[in-house]
Chains A and B, each alone.
Chain A
Amino acid sequence: MKRYSIRMAGVGGQGVVTASHILSNGVILGGGESTVVPFFGSEKRMAPVESYVRIAGDRLCEIGEIIYPNFIAIFHSQVITHGKSYTMPFYSGLKEDSDILINSHQPLQLGADEERELAERRARVYYLPAIQLALEYAGRDIATNMAMIGAVSAILGLPDLESLEKAVRARFLGKDFVASGGTASLDRAAEKGFAHKAELVQKNMEVIRAAHRYAVEHGWVRNRPKESDEACTR
């Protein structure tokens, strides 16, 4: 399995950390290794949030922030347009030939320098209408984070949808997960929008599948490199 260092950036209240936990747990449930490092200041809406997910087929030793990612997921356009990010510019440290997934229904107006630097690194930039997918399939924009991990799953080919569903169930129906105060209140807000928790899981999965389809249909699925080509990226 190729190693992935995924940096997720968004703003408070979007569920960036929740999404990273689900993605990471999905990888583990699918038989891989993964770790999560959430990073944020005081918990408040619209404040910068980053979360880092490492994925590998065997032992993962690394700790701490991901300074040199080979996948970036931007959950909110203000990360780029308002600089709501711990890492500026948003692609800082990006390895060559990597992917950037951005939640936006249309391409963002990037500066000339940014366009040039992304081109120099041969970055592939994908725009996912994650909010629209969340509204369409769950009826609520709070499921935007689910759309994002659905697309990540399609692009990287992991975790598979079955493992991802297990991880979603574990997160919302399981008893082991301990959420912070702010996250717990968001959980309650999310639950209120649905008749019961099972529906919340089902709607989340519909959003994930829709985003997965969207990514596949738009040809974002990576050509998986052979093991020998994986020279993990100095």
Chain B
Amino acid sequence: MIKTEKQRVVTPEYLFFEAPRTRSYITGSEAANEAVRRGNVDIAIAYPITPQSETMQQVGELYAEGYLRDYYRAEDEVGAFAAMSGASRTGVRCLTASSGPGLMRGLETVASWPGHRLPLVFLIMCRVINAPLSIQPDNLELGYMLLTGNVVLHAENQQDFFDYTLAGFVISEKCEVTLPVAVAVDGFFVTHARGWVEMPSADLKLPARECYSEAVPMIDNENPPIRIARDAPIQKSNFISYQMHAAWQQEIQAALERSRQWITRYLGGLIEVVNPGAETMLIASGSAVSQSREAVRQAEEAGKEVGLIKIKSLRPFPGEELRQACAHAKRIIVPEFNCIGWLNREVRSTLYGWVDAEIADGPRVCGGITMPTEMILEWVFEGKPL
């Protein structure tokens, strides 16, 4: 009997909140793999790229052990992501992963997933995308993901990567959501480094995907794939096409809004706040949160209270939550692991007109180096340029 059939199906609530957990010291790649093991995943589809390869190679082992029903090695990222479209539309639970340049190569397909209302989980292990070639962690690529209509969660550490991946399957498949969920982490810092991860028993797994409870019917004998091609807007009059797209794109945004309740339920909210009363607030996502936590601790030793807002969900963006958490702030600092400052832009446009705080234009590191906590503290104490 294959392994997955020996696992006991439990509710997401039991798996996430009630099942006893044991603590393991594992890499982020292993944490993602352990989430897939408990995720009742039907098919994993991948094309290798560093630093994603390690996870998907391990998921291949899961297939060999019998935890997955199928594993497909695609010909490139365009093929991998297109295969995800096909697999998801047939109603099975599917997973893929990529990094930096691979994500960019397949971005056309990634941006088409939400329009097709495809529940799936897409792991992103961030890596430099620009020339010259580099495999280092730098999360510039997430700036592109923000525009695609995917739910985008940004995991801070190995534990988050485990939890968000498992929750991602459930959120993605909720009827009122029916959207792809991207779970991002900063490469190497999380994927190739060990951290403590608390996990429920591997004898448990999520319920299977209930594809006929979702917003869009599956491809089967009643709904042949040709319907999608036959009804393509390009074959209608322009005005019908405009109308269809307006409705569909607004519906994707509405579905993103409706995912908030499930992100709140399964991840405990779209943000986490440390020292909520502090006049200086750091706002960060991903690995920048870990560095900020240490900066908060060091600032406290130096006698200054600094607050921290961890953004777990980039899409939907926690606008209302940020406005409330920053209402009292005098200074806001946004540490980021990319040169563009996409989070800074989000923060500014969200808070414009709502708060009196000064919003500092940084700090940022580029090319994949870590951000020393000392750098954050310079911006806290020495009032680096606004």
- Measured between beta carbons, the chain B residues less than 8 angstroms from A190 are none
- Please state if A67 and B301 are interface contacts (CB–CB under 8 Å): no
- Measured between beta carbons, the chain A residues less than 8 angstroms from B298 are 232-234
The CA-CA distance from A62 to B376 in the complex, in Å, is: 12
Instruction: Provide the B363-386 mask, 1 if CB < 8 A to any CB of A, else 0.
Output: 000000111111001000100000
Distance from A96 Cβ to chain B, minimum over Cβ atoms (Å): 13
Question: Is there a chain B Cβ closer than 8 Å to A194's Cβ?
Answer: no
Q: Chain B: which residue is nearest A231 at the CB level?
A: B301
Interface residues on chain B, number (Cβ under 8 Å)? 26
Question: Is there a chain B Cβ closer than 8 Å to A64's Cβ?
Answer: yes
- Measured between beta carbons, the chain B residues less than 8 angstroms from A234 are 298, 302, 374, 377, 381
- Please state if B291 and A67 are interface contacts (CB–CB under 8 Å): no
Question: Is there a chain B Cβ closer than 8 Å to A221's Cβ?
Answer: no
Distance from A70 Cβ to chain B, minimum over Cβ atoms (Å): 12
Q: Chain A: which residue is nearest B302 at the CB level?
A: A234
Question: Is there a chain A Cβ closer than 8 Å to B134's Cβ?
Answer: no
- Measured between beta carbons, the chain B residues less than 8 angstroms from A63 are 157, 186, 189-190, 193, 287, 290-291, 370
The CA-CA distance from A62 to B157 in the complex, in Å, is: 10
Question: Is there a chain A Cβ closer than 8 Å to B116's Cβ?
Answer: no
With A231-B302, A234-B302 already in contact, the answer to whether A61 and B374 are too (CB < 8 A) is no
- Of A28, A64, A230, which one neighbours B25 at CB under 8 angstroms? A28
Distance from A233 Cβ to chain B, minimum over Cβ atoms (Å): 8
Q: Chain B: which residue is nearest A39 at the CB level?
A: B188
- Of A28, A35, A67, A68, which one neighbours B193 at CB under 8 angstroms? A35
- Measured between beta carbons, the chain B residues less than 8 angstroms from A36 are 193-194
Distance from B312 Cβ to chain A, minimum over Cβ atoms (Å): 16
- Please state if B374 and A62 are interface contacts (CB–CB under 8 Å): no
With A35-B193, A62-B294 already in contact, the answer to whether A67 and B377 are too (CB < 8 A) is no
Closest 10 A/B residue pairs (Cβ): A64-B370, A63-B189, A61-B290, A61-B293, A67-B372, A62-B294, A231-B301, A61-B294, A63-B287, A65-B370
The CA-CA distance from A42 to B73 in the complex, in Å, is: 27
Q: Chain A: which residue is nearest B190 at the CB level?
A: A63
With A35-B195, A232-B301 already in contact, the answer to whether A64 and B374 are too (CB < 8 A) is no
Question: Is there a chain B Cβ closer than 8 Å to A37's Cβ?
Answer: yes
The CA-CA distance from A67 to B375 in the complex, in Å, is: 10
Q: What are 9 A-B contacts defined by CB distance under 8 Å?
A: A61-B289, A61-B290, A61-B294, A62-B370, A63-B189, A64-B371, A65-B370, A232-B297, A234-B377
- Please state if B301 and A64 are interface contacts (CB–CB under 8 Å): no
The CA-CA distance from A35 to B158 in the complex, in Å, is: 13
Q: Chain A: which residue is nearest B299 at the CB level?
A: A234
- Measured between beta carbons, the chain B residues less than 8 angstroms from A35 are 193-195
- Measured between beta carbons, the chain A residues less than 8 angstroms from B25 are 28
